[in-house]
Structure 1
Amino acid sequence: MWALLTDAEAFPRWNSTVTRIGGPIALGRKLAIQVPISERTFTPTVTAFVAEQGMTWSDGFWPMFQGVRTFELTEAEGETTFAMEEVFTGLMLPMIARTLPDFGPPFEQYARDLKRAAEEGA
């Protein structure tokens, strides 16, 4: 599963919520992410990276506004559990919170796509 999450070039082949990732996905690297629901290119930086366990992508201008997406893999009894969350903070959050999309459905689709690809050995 980790190989799927860290192969920027292959991402669009298994993940329907991502059109393109310019990588590489590695600590300290800035990514260029395109998604089908937006014309905008998102440019988070990989701010934490522990192989086979998890990573964090951060974007924005702290302290004004920042989004932090955390990916976590947990192994137990021969199975891997995937968790992903995005937390927004900053002084401008109260003013723009209503304009943020609902990340629930795309995050659920992301997890379904990852599960399917991992089970198929993509």
Structure 2
Amino acid sequence: MTTTERPRPALDRRRRRRRRALVALGIVVVLVGAALGQRAHPYRLESTVEIDAPREVVWDVLTDFGAYPEWNPALVGMAGELAVGETLRFATDASDDALVFEPVVREVRPEEELRWEGRLLLGGLFDGEHSFELRETDTGGTVLVQVEDFRGIAVPFLTGWLRENTLPDFVAMNDALRERAEAGAVAIDDA
């Protein structure tokens, strides 16, 4: 053995460390790329319903959180102040196993739009921006569009679950909101 040769075990250890570092770097690059891709191309769920009631009635039903247990099959225990930057709190159902979310209000335009943004655990993993848009129809009714854009590295693995479980909740909530708002509009007309 000459003095310029290195012992094999030391060389092997350095190669293994270098390989591990490259693998770790590769994983980080893939995760960052996935997160950036999800930010640019969210997975969207959307449900639209036409309601035979004016926007002010629909807005009043939508924002009366205290009444949600009476009619809303998808969001229970909704609480919080409707002001930009405030935190809302709601559960997906009344069971002990319900998911509890605490999104931050991003937009409040009475009779036009309500939007909040939330995340599960930490940002970039599973984030959602939820909105309700109210559009007036030619006949004085309202088109309600409920949308959620999901982003994060976990989203591509959950799209089937979201489509099968969350989208039906949107539809159920829209239908229930329509029934309540139309009943409220009839009560106003009868008064």
Q: Same fold (TM over 0.5)?
A: yes
What is the number of equivalent residue pairs in this alignment? 122
Find the aligned partners of 1:67 and 1:74 in 2 and give their Cα distance.
22
Query: Aligned match of 2:150 in 88, 113, 116?
Result: 88
What secondary structure does 1:10 align onto?
A: helix
What secondary structure does 2:144 align onto?
A: strand
Query: What aligned pairs does 1:3-22 form with structure 2 within 5 A after superposition?
Result: 3-22=60-79
2:163 paired with 1:66? no
What secondary structure does 2:181 align onto?
A: helix
Supply the AA of the counterpart residue of 2:170: F
TM-score (norm 2): 0.57
Question: Between Structure 1 and Structure 2, which shows a larger proportion of helix residues?
Answer: 2
Max Rg structure: 2
Find the aligned partners of 1:84 and 1:64 in 2 and give their Cα distance.
22
Distance apart, 1:39 and its partner CA: 1.9
Supply the AA of the counterpart residue of 2:69: P
Are the structure 2 counterparts of residues 96 and 17 from structure 1 closer, same or farther at C-alpha, using a change threshold of 3 Å?
closer
2:59 aligned partner: 2
Distance apart, 1:72 and its partner CA: 0.4
Query: Aligned match of 1:24 in 81, 85, 102?
Result: 81
**Fraction of identical pairs, as percent:** 30
TM-score (norm 1): 0.85
Give ranges in structure 1 of 5+ residues lacking alignment.
none
Distance apart, 1:65 and its partner CA: 3.0
Find the aligned partners of 2:61 and 2:126 in 1 and give their Cα distance.
29
Give ranges in structure 2 of 5+ residues lacking alignment.
1-57
Question: Between Structure 1 and Structure 2, which shows a larger proportion of strand residues?
Answer: 1
What secondary structure does 1:9 align onto?
A: helix
Supply the AA of the counterpart residue of 2:143: T
Contact 2:82 2:108 in 1 (8 A): no
Q: CA RMSD in A?
A: 2.1
2:169 paired with 1:112? no
